[in-house]
Every structure is written in structure tokens, then in C-alpha cells.
Structure 1
């Protein structure tokens, strides 16, 4: 019997986990795998707002994944085979998706744990998944992708993360495909707690700045993919689309792909499992 994917929200805010689950609704309707397990950190921090928060949340969550026995929620039918009752959360699932848009250390640390035990369980972060998906959508030389995210601190963190992921260790190396990062100035929690009109305004402004950056000084570049740079942005695609249409017009505005790392990550993991990669 196939085992489900484990989707991990490494902060303690249940509402964010629920948003991630809601974002995957249509994908799960056609998935060939059992219904995934959605995990919210039982301890740690409510919102990951910087690199320090990434490491703190990894320290808090990893022991739970490695030591907590899996037990299916009472509200759903068990989707794991009977022999998995004694397994930890990490071992009872076929793959793990870390639903935090960052260079989250939980990805590499959990992968290292699997490697030590000769397990081939794939682990993927939504940040890395969004980059992979975006690159696949860029076809013309002038096409660019970029990221919209929360607080200003993420600009440098995510920019370095993209460079490292693409192997451009030299800070001076030019990334022609990457337009950059634009921020809303909001935390992940504020995305849901602030008035919707204010969130929409800030999100649209960030998208329009990203479009301008993609054009470049000579106006030849074009934004073709926008990554939603926070798991808390799940479900905000319509606002991003509206900003693209306002800035580029109806035709060109609808040519911009909106990449949700949660959706991209889940589909990538399912594809890896089905093709036995």
C-alpha cells in the first residue's frame, strides 16, 4: 500500500496549515496517493520571520518528526498500512514537503537523517520547488522569474538562496533569469490578520515593482513567473493576477505564471514517487 506525503508547517500557527491544505484541494482530488498528513509544529514559534526563526523552528520540529509515533487524525480514515503503526512521522510517509518559504534547514537536516539510515525518502522545500517550477516556465531569452514575499529581511536571504540553489556562489555572478525579490513588509501572520484591502494593496505594489525590475534598464526583460514567497500567501493568486493585468494589460498580464511552491512541491514529490526517482 502506498504511503502518503507528509506536509510540514514548521511554525505553530494552525491557520497556516489549514491554508496550505486548502490550497492543495483541487490537486488532491486527482492525486494517485493516499490523502496527505498535514503537520503543524506543536512547539516553537508562530511565525518564521528571519533566518534565526528558520533554525529555531527546525530545532523544535525535527525531534517531533523523528520521535513522535504516527497516529491518523480521528476525523479521517487511516491512509497508512497496518505495519506503520509503530513508525515515527518521518518514517511512516513516502515523502516530506516542508511548507515554509525559506532556505529552511529542516530540508537538509531531515534528508541527512534519511541518508544515515539508507532511506531514499525525498524531502523538498516549497522554496526550492518554486524555483524548479519557474525555470521550467521560462522559454524566451528575455523571460525572468521573481519572488514576492513578506518582510524586508527576506530579500537578502532569498536572493542568496536562489544563488546557492543555482550554483552561483559568486556574489558578483549575474543571474539573467532571476528578476529579484520584492517584499510586502508584512509578516506571515499579518497576511491573514490585517484588513484584506491593505494586504491586497501591499501585495499588488510588490508585484508591480517586480514587473519593473524584470524589464530591466533597457526594457527588454519580461516577468514570466512570480513565486508566492510565503506559505501564508496560499490562495492569494487572484490578487497577484490582478496586479499583473493592471500593470501589463489583460493579454500580457495573463501570460505571467503564478507559482505556488506548496502546489509545485506536492506535485513534484508525487511525480518523483510515481516515477521512482
Structure 2
């Protein structure tokens, strides 16, 4: 009797490029809440201790990229994975660098939680009839002030939008003034709640915002705070309709589909 493989599992590596194991645990909790196929396996990687414990600016982005890329290409056994998700809400070089590496079957399918959050928002925005009401919008709530310009520029570049033009669907980026590490034990929860609600309300104040993207992997599990801000700002009916997008969960779903598409459409 001859047997052969008919179906394969999908193996996804979630890369936390900072060295915080607490942050990785938060990412794990977000992953556990996803209804995944039984054939999908998720593995979480935390950067070595020399990587920044919290990524707060361009220097941290670059340092984490160099440290993690070296570690993964030396010790990561990337050939056993089909896809990788970079769990830092930024324009992170690891997305492009890992995408050039070989996985279990050809090049890795790679995205970041930034890119996944943008694509999920655009896919989920409601489209009103022409010439009736203003375009529905999406926007980002993030950590420190530095990220406002970085992420705004990143959105324009990713979508191919001229920064001098008006993007009717993008409400912008509002910051909490916190660092990523503050969301997991670094700051009193009441302070986190107050600052996150305030930033969310400022974003919603841009008008007709249907989607709020959590602009930090450390925000995983804090959807209820954003929801309460939406209800206070918009009222119960409209507030409950606002979509709150976690880039980790969005990225896992997109990578599952990317791997399936590669298997269906690539030359074999």
C-alpha cells in the first residue's frame, strides 16, 4: 500500500522584536482568542535580552531589527515555518527582511501587525452611497507622541498616497503618551484607562470613524477600554458598532490566507 501527504499544517511564527516576555504573553492571549483552523500552528518568539524591552522610537526599531534578524537567521530554524508575523506596530524593517528568507516551502509569507491593521480596516469600512454622507473613516490609537508622524507617514507610503493630498478615509493617529511596556505592569491601570480613553475620544472626534486600530501589540486585551470610550463619545447604539482592530489577530488571519493562496497559485 502506498500513502502520501494530502494536506499540510500551516505553521506561523509570531515575532515579538522586543525583549519583553510580558508583552509576548499578551500576544499569546490575543492569539488564543482566535478561532483558528485545527491545522494551523502558532509559535511565539521573543527577542533576545539585548533587544530593547520596549520599542519607542526609530533607534529602537533599527536595533531590534538587527538583533532579531541575526538571531532568527542563526538560531531560528525558519525553514520549518510557512509564515511570520512581526508583532510591532511600526514600519518595521523585519517585514521586508524576513520576506526574503526561505520558509518550509519557498519564501516566507510575512506581514506586520501595522500592515495587517491597515488592510483589515480598509476591508471592513462601510461604503456609503455616493454623494450622500461623508466617507467613513479609520484611525490609529498609539503610544508615544513620536509615533504620530511615523505611523501617518507609514500609512501614506503603504497605501501609495501623496502626503500632500487628503485621505478621506484615514482619520489619523492619536497618542496616549504611554510606552508599550506601560500597558503590562509599567503604569497604574487607572492611568492607562484614562489616557487610552482620552486618545480614543480624540480620534473619534475626527468624525464618522468606524474602525479604531490598536497601534501597539501591548494594547492586546484592552479593547473594552476603547469600547467604553466609543460608547461615551457616540452613544450606545453607534458606539457598539465601532470595530476595534487588533493587528495580531488580523495578521494571523491574513497570513493563513496568504499561505493558502501561495499553495494554490504558485508553480509546483
User: After superposition, what is the alpha-carbon deviation per residue over 1:66-102, rounded to whole angstroms, capped at 9, x for unaligned?
Assistant: 1105xxxxxxxxxxxxxxxxxx2x2211100000000
Alignment of 1:71-220 (within 5 A): 88=77, 90-114=78-102, 119-141=106-128, 142-168=135-161, 170-192=162-184, 193-213=186-206, 215=207
Give 5+ residue unaligned stretches, structure 2.
1-7, 129-134
User: After superposition, what is the alpha-carbon deviation per residue over 1:11-57, rounded to whole angstroms, capped at 9, x for unaligned?
Assistant: 00000001001011121x53233431100001311000012211110
* Number of residue pairs matched by the alignment: 248
Q: Which residue of 1 aligns with 2:58?
A: 51
CA distance in 2, matches of 1:52, 1:113: 24
CA distance in 1, matches of 2:113, 2:45: 15
Q: Which residue of 2 aligns with 1:85?
A: none
- CA contact under 8 A between 2:16 and 2:87: conserved in structure 1? yes
Structure 1 length normalisation: TM-score? 0.86
CA distance in 2, matches of 1:121, 1:112: 7
Q: Which residue of 1 aligns with 2:234?
A: 248
Within the candidate set 64, 80, 92, 2:71 is matched to 64
Cα RMSD of the aligned pairs, angstroms, is 1.7
CA distance in 1, matches of 2:178, 2:148: 13
Is 1:2 paired with 2:15?
no
Structure 2 length normalisation: TM-score? 0.88
Q: Which residue of 2 aligns with 1:219?
A: none
Q: Which residue of 2 aligns with 1:228?
A: 214
